[in-house]
Amino acid sequence: MDICDFLSNSGIEYERFDHPPVYTVDDVHRLTPDLPGAKTKNLFLRDKKGMRHFLVVMPADKRIDLKALPKVLQSSKVSFGSSDRLMKLLGIAPGAVSLLAVYNDDEKAVELFIDAALWHVEACQFHPMINTSTLVLSKASILNFLAAVDHAYQIVDIPSPP
């Protein structure tokens, strides 16, 4: 089922905006209209041994300290997950990584971490698992989505470089 169909069938409200393909935060700023809600950056990471996988969701313009992040994740050193792992675990390609991809995580193999800064905004923007659209979901809709897919998450302070 398409993610938009899932959201609609689950009674989860969202606004959809279509745009040219975007691959980076810079692309988002250049190619998408000024939309309501916080722009997000979504990182797919793995631990050193490749045993644990993480989806880290944070404000788009926030820089991340990858050396300090493992302490927050209670993990060993982390690195970016490969496109093969991304496809296998979340069913998406690079450039379309999004909190909404946990919809495809039937095995609950990816740990979801959301930056506390996003927890204080009224709405957030996410790709609907393709990079040619952006969905705006309120905080209530995000919570309803996570409950509907029964995916655990943690609200944490994602470290920025000193």
CA distance linking residue 138 with residue 140, whole number of Å: 5
CA distance linking residue 134 with residue 14, whole number of Å: 10
CA distance linking residue 59 with residue 103, whole number of Å: 21
User: Tokens at residue 67, please?
Assistant: 């050396």
Residues 141, 36 contacting (CB under 8 angstroms): no
Q: In what order do the strands lie in the sheet with 133-138?
A: 15-18, 133-138, 123-126
Nearest to 111 by CA among 161, 49, 60, 155: 155
Predicted TM-score of the model (pTM)? 0.93
Q: Which CATH superfamily is domain 3-156 in?
A: YbaK/aminoacyl-tRNA synthetase-associated domain (3.90.960.10)
Where are the chain's structural domains? 3-156
* Each residue's pLDDT expressed in tens, for the chain with a length of 162 residues: 799 999 999 999 999 999 888 777 788 778 777 889 999 999 999 999 999 999 999 999 999 999 999 999 999 899 999 999 999 999 998 888 999 999 999 999 999 999 999 989 999 999 999 888 999 999 999 999 999 999 999 999 999 998
